[in-house]
Structure 1
């Protein structure tokens, strides 16, 4: 029997090529599988990091704003977006406001671009200004730093007294940011604010006198009140953001500490998070804490008188809502 060695060699080479190709295919599938699994695990970790960013923002940078949910608005393999639907409590009327959006990828977590910073425009022939959300145009309530008055430049925006203008807005509820002439304790605020107004948010204020109203638009730090305008002072269960309660002062302190460790926002040479950290070191408990302002809401006829109060430095109106016959305001 004559053996054709050329054919045998060719068959063996084909077998070797098939085996090699099979091994390569299996290796590629395994590598892809491991890679996809690693990407999914990394993106899951980044999602949790984005949630933490959202929770810190909800806790300290959301003046009279409450989030209802956190969910994925965009879900690519390498880039995703966390979105949070939000609303304001205007004396019992829940008014939808701009959502919070946070982009995250394999290597970074951050806000959804620079569009979240408000637009500021002149609103009268005087030197007053207004701030408006870029997404939906809603007016934002502004706070003014009385410590800055002594070094204020001639071209800077003047303080506003907008609550008195609400006399012309009948059958509405509205929110008003109140800046105090001097910081007040929680107990002092409870005694000062009339019972016919709902306190929605407590403004921590600023330790530095360098920060003007335009330096902190869209970046004011404070704590939301509960549905009846109060704060609590219950020791936190843990340091985890998922355990925070939005109106609990110890959780607010923890959130400010977390923000100061992970965020930066410099204006006029001052980092607002470090400024806030300096204050909570001075005011570690609710009993010791002093606030530089608040947001209140109520019927417009009850808000008009705020500008006549001796302890008030400035007032600035935010959103309003028409009173409906079938929904009674809280106050």
Structure 2
């Protein structure tokens, strides 16, 4: 009986130890799973934020007419939610004026690339569009191939007629060409007293482009110091980096001098376009250009197909053609354009009263 009782006691103690081990092991595994799950969810949220950053970094190179980025950063609302925030301005003849900030939310399951405050609303009996957030006036481009009827609410505008009444102001104007022009032509068309801020690629379709959001208008800002193609720039950057890896005090004066080599305005525009074309192709490859549109007339626009066709037809920087530009300057300096036969439409964007302390570009 004693042996049997001792055996039962030992068995009970062993069972308790096993139960305790199982409890501890289960708790440990649950804790590890919880930590790993937390880390995984946090990583997924971070990846969605990084995707937004990559998208926006590309988008600011290929869209947003005459909109400059001052900063962008993550604004985390919680461990699994946040917002990509970017402060932006416009350049009106060298005067910096505010524009809608970019705000795109991201989370564990969401990454929304559009910023609702830059959506557009119609105004002035269809003559104008304004941002939904702060009601900034947006310059509009018109498609020369779009069907225009008497009942069309968004007819091409001729806002150059109004600028004579805007004395003392610096003005932003979108000019739609009567036909596509080469970059070498654009240099000759723009009056010396006006600033060329942005170049629009246009559309291969017959869709009405006057209501497209700024994120869906594709073009580039001229870099007048661009003295290399995109490939040449990258090769020189890589060469300098490789030298610095071997000797961080190496004399780079001769190589750095290449960055300052002067070029003609036409060559600068062609090199600017070459860089833009690289980023535009990157957007196509990553499926970042994917919006589609349709109207009551049955006209459709597939951005992906449209941009791909543009890239195919405009591979050579010397023969590439463009559909419009944004010019800025003093109101009085636009007078010479009123009789220009190369202008299909003109539409005023933002304007600002010139103050004594403003330093205008031209």
TM-score, normalised on structure 1?
0.85
Partner of 1:235: 230
**How far apart, in 2, do the equivalents of 1:7 and 1:307 lie?**
106
Report if the CA contact (8 A) 2:136-2:350 is conserved.
yes
Cα 1:231/1:188, change in 2 over 3 Å = farther
Whether contact under 8 Å (1:81, 1:102) holds in the other structure is: yes
Where does residue 329 of structure 2 map in the other structure? 298
What is the aligned partner in structure 1 of residue 293 from structure 2? 267
For 1:69 and 1:217, the matched residues in 2 are separated by 21
1:197 shift after superposition: 0.6
Which residue does the alignment assign to 2:100? 98
Match of 1:169 among 166, 169, 183: 166
* 1:146 counterpart SS class: coil
Give the drift of 1:106. 3.8
From 252, 262, 286, the equivalent of 2:317 is: 286
Matched, 1:179 2:176: yes
Q: Over residues 56-83 of structure 1, what are the superposed CA-to-partner deviations in whole Å (9 max), with x where a residue is unaligned?
A: 2201221001112221123433332211
CA shift, 1:10, in A, is 5.2
- What residue is the counterpart of 1:211 in the other structure? 207
1:29 is aligned to 31
- Distance (whole Å) between structure 1 residues aligned to residue 228 and residue 121 of structure 2: 36
Q: Distance in 2 between matches of 1:316 and 1:309?
A: 15
Confirm or deny: 8 A CA contact 1:79 1:106 kept in the other structure: yes
- Name the SS for the 1:184 alignment partner: strand
How far has the Cα of 1:137 moved from its partner?
Answer: 0.5
What is the RMSD of the two structures over their aligned residues, measured on CA atoms? 2.6
Instruction: Find the aligned partners of 2:305 and 2:321 in 1 and give their Cα distance.
Output: 17
> Match for residue 257 of structure 1?
281
TM-score normalised to structure 2 length: 0.78
Q: CA deviation at 1:198?
A: 0.6
2:339 corresponding residue in structure 1: 308
SS at match of 2:96: strand
1:114 to partner: Cα distance: 4.9
Note if 1:58 corresponds to 2:60: yes
Task: Determine whether 1:129 maps to 2:127.
Answer: yes
Q: Structure 1 residue 5: deviation in Å?
A: 6.7
Task: Give the Cα separation in 2 of the matches to 1:205 and 1:233.
Answer: 25
Measure, in 2, the Cα distance between the counterparts of 1:114 and 1:68.
Answer: 19
The answer to whether structure 1 residue 320 and structure 2 residue 351 are counterparts is yes
* TM superposition shift of 1:311: 0.9
User: Number of residue pairs matched?
Assistant: 315
Unpaired runs of at least 5, structure 2: 235-268, 295-299
* Contact 1:62–1:224 under 8 Å retained in 2: no
Is 1:199 matched with 2:196?
yes
Q: Residues 112, 9 of structure 1: CA spacing in aligned structure 2 closer, same or farther, 3 A cutoff?
A: farther
What are structure 1's unaligned runs of at least 5 residues?
239-245
**Aligned-residue offset at 1:105:** 3.3
Displacement of 1:231 in angstroms is: 6.3
1:277 and 2:308 correspond = yes
